[in-house]
Amino acid sequence: MGKKAVLFDRDGVINQSIVRNGKPFPPQTMAEFKWVEKVRETLETLSSIDYLLVIFTNQPDVGRGQQSLQQVGIFHEHIKKTLPVAQIYTCFHDNKDQCECRKPKPGMIFEAQNDWEIDLQQSFVVGDRWRDIDAGNEAGCQTIWLDYGYDEALRSQPDYTIKHLHQILDIIH
Quick one: DSSP state of residue 118?
B
94: annotated active-site residue: no
Torsions phi, psi of 104, nearest 5? -85, 0
For 87, counting Cβ atoms within 10 Å of its Cβ (0-12 exposed, 13-18 middle, 19+ buried), the class is middle
Closest by CA to 4, choosing from 59, 48, 68, is 48
9: annotated active-site residue: yes
Pairwise CA distance, residues 14 & 39, whole Å: 6
Pairwise CA distance, residues 55 & 61, whole Å: 18
Give me the active site residues, please: 9, 11
